[in-house]
């Protein structure tokens, strides 16, 4: 095997000068294909990873919705007993219209207890957690800053001798936050639960509990456990349930791009086929002499397959190295900039996954070896006597 490997290297990098150019083109084709494939997959994976982190920072990991009634300590105690639960608190959601001057916006009012408002501490841009808090996008629409008075209008209203009138309350903005999602930043108002109940009464749209976990990726397991322990009086959903269609679509796009870019390596491998046909024609007499010294046709076949393997291995190895360099440059200098209001981030990171690396490397090797099969088979079947006679 060592002899075949040495001969393969000599055959591949030796010979006439015009074959050196074809060798370089075949090598560069494999290398560029591997770099393009790995970096593209890395950007897709980096976007998915960053998007998951953004989603996890802007929403609870599990939401337990009560089918009827208000949140109580009984359910909360059961939820907090789960070993994966880091934090859980009751919420109530009301529908309302918020406005200032002549600008109005339909919103969801999330009511939570004052002691639980610390969950918004990391997202506060102005003010502090507590009181009435609105998203940064909503604040821009209304032209509101901390300390301003805004109008809350309850759709349920009150009955009077003159008919049904909406209930209107003036409240002070205590904080402005940004959590990075459209629903949170443009369509949500957060306020203390007692204050919300005094304004909206029993007209809540949703009541239940927000649950934050020590490991967000255990959300599906925790969901199943809570469904068993809480019974049929609740409806449990995880962050995965809310976002699964999005991640499925991204994964499908990633797979499609993978196979499209794999065609680049396949096209590059055609250069290997052309190169080895040229090598076979150039080295046919050398092969005939080797056969007279006892080399078998199978060994000749393997000799030329090894040349394809070596070319694919070197091209793929350098391609992987350059892909890692590209990954570092993309992440170091934030080279891929995107509009934050569309993608929830101002740049896309690159993250080359191990499975993508292995599949790409093995795919490049496999295609390179397959490209060498036809010329290897042809040269292995050459007749020694005819070759030496020059026929």
φ/ψ of residue 188, rounded to 5 = -130, 135
Domain ranges of the chain: 2-55+245-389, 85-213
pLDDT of residue 343: 81
Give the pTM: 0.84
- Residues 280 and 305: their CA atoms lie apart, in Å, by 12
Beta-bridge partner residues of 106: 97
- Residues 327 and 106: their CA atoms lie apart, in Å, by 43
**142-169 residue pLDDT tens:** 999 999 999 999 877 666 676 677 788 9
- Residues 98 and 100: their CA atoms lie apart, in Å, by 7
pLDDT of residue 179: 87
- The contacts found for 113-120 with CB under 8 angstroms, 24 or more apart, are 113/89, 113/192, 113/193, 114/192, 116/89, 117/190, 117/192, 119/87, 119/89, 119/210, 119/212, 120/175, 120/177, 120/179, 120/190
Residue 204 corresponds to which tokens in the numbers above?
């809540």
Read off the pLDDT of each residue in 27-50 and give the average, rounded to a whole number: 96
pLDDT of residue 7: 84
- Residues 164 and 158: their CA atoms lie apart, in Å, by 6
**76-132 residue pLDDT tens:** 999 999 999 999 999 999 999 999 988 999 999 999 999 999 899 888 999 988 889
String of b and e for 278-297 (b: at least 16 CB within 10 Å)? bbbeebeeebbebbeeebee
């Amino acid at each position: 095997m060592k002899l075949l490997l040495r001969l393969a290297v000599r055959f591949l990098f030796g010979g006439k000068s015009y074959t050196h150019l074809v060798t370089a083109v075949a090598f560069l084709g494999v290398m560029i294909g591997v770099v393009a494939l790995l970096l593209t997959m890395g950007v897709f994976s980096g976007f998915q990873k960053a998007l998951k982190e953004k989603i996890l920072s802007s929403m609870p990991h599990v939401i337990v919705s009560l089918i009827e009634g208000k949140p109580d300590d009984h359910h909360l105690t059961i939820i907090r007993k789960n070993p994966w639960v880091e934090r859980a608190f009751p919420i109530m959601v009301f529908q309302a219209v918020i406005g200032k001057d002549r600008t109005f916006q339909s919103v969801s009012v999330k009511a939570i207890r004052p002691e639980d408002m610390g969950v918004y501490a990391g997202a506060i841009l102005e003010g502090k957690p507590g009181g009435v808090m609105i998203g940064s996008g909503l604040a821009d629409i209304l032209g509101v800053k901390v300390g301003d008075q805004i109008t809350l209008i309850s759709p349920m209203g009150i009955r009077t001798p003159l008919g049904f009138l909406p209930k209107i309350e003036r409240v002070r903005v205590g904080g402005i936050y940004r959590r990075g999602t459209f629903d949170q930043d443009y369509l949500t108002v957060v306020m203390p639960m007692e204050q919300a109940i005094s304004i909206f009464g029993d007209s809540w749209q949703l009541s239940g509990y927000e649950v934050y976990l020590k490991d967000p990726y255990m959300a599906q397991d925790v969901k199943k456990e809570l469904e068993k322990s809480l019974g049929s009086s609740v409806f449990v959903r995880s962050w995965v349930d809310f976002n699964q269609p999005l991640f499925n679509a991204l994964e499908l796009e990633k797979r499609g791009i993978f196979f499209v870019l794999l065609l680049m390596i396949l096209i590059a491998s055609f250069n290997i086929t052309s190169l080895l046909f040229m090598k076979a024609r150039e080295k046919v007499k050398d092969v005939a002499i080797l056969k007279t010294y006892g080399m078998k046709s199978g060994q000749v076949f393997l000799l030329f397959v090894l040349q394809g393997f070596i070319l694919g291995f070197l091209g793929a190895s350098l391609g992987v190295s350059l892909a890692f360099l590209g990954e570092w440059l993309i992440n170091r200098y934030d080279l891929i900039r995107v509009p934050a209001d569309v993608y929830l981030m101002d740049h896309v990171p690159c993250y080359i996954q191990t499975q993508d690396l292995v599949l790409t490397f093995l795919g490049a090797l496999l295609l390179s070896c397959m490209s060498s099969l036809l010329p290897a088979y042809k040269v292995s079947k050459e007749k020694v006597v005819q070759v030496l006679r020059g026929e």
